[in-house]
């Protein structure tokens, strides 16, 4: 049997290694749409994490009961239930935020992150691991949304979380809070993430080749 | 006149893809070739019009009279999923060539957030029945337009020398950003 990774790694991998926004390229619509400001990004990520966490637990508990032919429909009903909870709570407690996010809270239902994790992870693993995986992915999503929201809010309206950061000398770049700014910011972030990963892989490869040049027999032996 | 404004607003000015960010996944995923972009756009437009009709009936004829608004999300998603399945079966029976052209794209449409977004927006804005249909048609046209433009640009982009880190999704996003800027030019139209 394949050796299982530790519970801590199960959580931590969602932050960077399989970050839902940058690496899996899932859930793009909310990432681009709601990140006009940091606070919107945080609210969206928390709502998504809530849904992801509870639906992962639920699906992981029910995985033996759901026949595999109708599993997608069953997952969607479970997810829709938790999205309704999140939507109604937000409408009641934070009406302003709920208005700012518009249809994107109900649209968590079709966010590919949730269905993707349900299908790829929660339906195959136990409850604890699924919960940790959901939290990790939620945290990764939060990181992505806060970074996006931070950059766009800082350059688009000179503020962070509503406090003015850049002085009045700096002309706000209106394009950043327009839809086009979302595309540009996300493209830049994704490009840098790719460049970083490429560099890391290159360094790792060079290390191996150096080792090989020093003592070829040793590595050959260890591989055999 | 009202209807024309709704159509123009949904298709060009508030384009679903470029200003509401709905349906980004197929926009990035299926915009490699013009032919598949057209098929995907047509399939989506077709489903959007049907969704507009069905979800309007569901929301204003069933959910509101019986005070069941809280069931909006699950009922919409189930109705859309079964509608898409049904359409797929009908097309398969009626027209084989059409099925082969649209077939593979239909199941993808179920999880396209543009469809659910359309249903949610028309219930939020209290459109009348006729307005909803026009809204659905406009949204579909706008989606097709954005997808086809994107596909034509990407076919040319194949020949360009893109930095390694930006190949694939990032460069597509940059192109989408420029397109969104171009579509901003329509903003003053109404």
Among A71-80, A207-216, B160-169, the range scoring the smallest mean pLDDT is A207-216
Residue A152 neighbours by CB under 8 Å, 6+ apart: A35, A36, A37, A176, A177, A181, A182, A185
Q: Does A89 touch chain B (CB under 8 A)?
A: no
Determine the average pLDDT of the residues in A104-112: 85
Q: Which of B24, B165, B176 sits opposite A191 (nearest CB)?
A: B165
Cα–Cα distance, B45 to B23 (Å, whole number): 12
Domain ranges of chain B: 2-184
Cα–Cα distance, A156 to A153 (Å, whole number): 5
Cα–Cα distance, B28 to B126 (Å, whole number): 31
Residue B136: per-residue pLDDT: 93
In tens, the pLDDT along A9-64 reads 878 887 877 887 777 777 787 888 888 888 989 999 999 999 999 999 999 999 88
Q: Does B70 touch chain A (CB under 8 A)?
A: yes
In tens, the pLDDT along B55-65 reads 999 999 999 89
> Would you say A27 and A111 are in contact if contact means Cβ atoms under 8 Å apart?
yes
Length of chain B: 190
Predicted confidence (pLDDT) at residue A224 exceeds the cutoff of 50: no
Cα–Cα distance, A129 to A8 (Å, whole number): 10
Angle between helices A38-61 and A71-93 (to 10 degrees): 140
- Nearest one of A28, A26, A13 to A148, comparing CA atoms: A28
How near does any CA of chain A get to the CA of B150, in Å? 14
Higher pLDDT, B106 or B14: B14
Predicted confidence (pLDDT) at residue B29 exceeds the cutoff of 70: yes
Predicted confidence (pLDDT) at residue B5 exceeds the cutoff of 70: yes
How near does any CA of chain B get to the CA of A209, in Å? 22
> Would you say A27 and A113 are in contact if contact means Cβ atoms under 8 Å apart?
yes
Q: Which of A111, A190, A198 sits opposite B170 (nearest CB)?
A: A190
- Residues 38-67 of chain B with CB under 8 A from chain A are none
Predicted confidence (pLDDT) at residue A217 exceeds the cutoff of 70: no
Length of chain A: 224
Residue B103: per-residue pLDDT: 62
> Would you say B116 and A109 are in contact if contact means Cβ atoms under 8 Å apart?
yes
């Amino acid at each position: 049997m394949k050796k299982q990774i530790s519970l801590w790694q199960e959580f931590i991998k969602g932050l960077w290694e399989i970050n839902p926004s940058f690496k899996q390229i899932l859930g793009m619509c909310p990432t681009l749409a709601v990140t006009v400001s940091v606070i919107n990004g945080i609210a969206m990520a928390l709502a998504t994490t809530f849904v992801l966490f509870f639906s992962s637990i639920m699906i992981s508990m029910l995985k033996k009961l759901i026949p595999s032919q109708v599993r997608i429909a069953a997952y969607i009903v479970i997810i829709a239930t938790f999205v309704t909870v999140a939507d109604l709570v937000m409408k009641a407690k934070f009406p302003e935020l709920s208005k700012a996010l518009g249809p994107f809270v109900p649209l968590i239902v079709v966010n590919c992150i949730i269905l993707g994790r349900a299908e790829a992870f929660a339906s195959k693993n136990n409850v604890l691991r699924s919960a940790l995986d959901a939290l990790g992915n939620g945290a990764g999503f939060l990181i992505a949304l806060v970074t996006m929201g931070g950059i766009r809010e800082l350059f688009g309206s000179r503020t962070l979380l509503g406090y003015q950061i850049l002085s009045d000398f700096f002309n706000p770049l209106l394009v950043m809070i327009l839809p086009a700014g979302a595309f540009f910011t996300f493209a830049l972030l994704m490009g840098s993430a790719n460049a970083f990963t490429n560099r890391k892989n290159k360094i790792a490869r060079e290390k191996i080749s150096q080792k090989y040049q020093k003592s070829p027999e040793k590595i050959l032996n260890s591989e055999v | 006149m009202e209807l024309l404004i709704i159509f123009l607003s949904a298709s060009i000015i508030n384009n679903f893809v470029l200003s509401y960010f709905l349906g980004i996944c197929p926009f990035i995923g299926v915009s490699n070739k013009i032919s598949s972009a057209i098929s995907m756009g047509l399939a989506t437009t077709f489903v959007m019009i049907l969704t507009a009709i069905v979800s309007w009936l569901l929301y204003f004829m069933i959910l509101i009279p019986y005070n069941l608004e809280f069931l909006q999300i699950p009922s919409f998603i189930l109705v859309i999923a079964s509608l898409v399945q049904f359409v797929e079966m009908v097309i398969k029976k009626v027209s084989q060539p059409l099925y082969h052209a649209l077939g593979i794209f239909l199941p993808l449409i179920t999880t396209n957030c543009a469809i659910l977004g359309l249903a949610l927006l028309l219930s939020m804005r209290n459109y009348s029945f006729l307005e909803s249909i026009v809204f659905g048609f406009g949204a579909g046209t706008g989606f097709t337009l954005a997808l086809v433009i994107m596909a034509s640009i990407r076919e040319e982009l194949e020949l360009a020398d893109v930095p390694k880190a930006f190949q694939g999704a990032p460069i597509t996003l940059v192109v989408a950003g420029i397109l969104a800027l171009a579509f901003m030019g329509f903003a003053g139209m109404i």
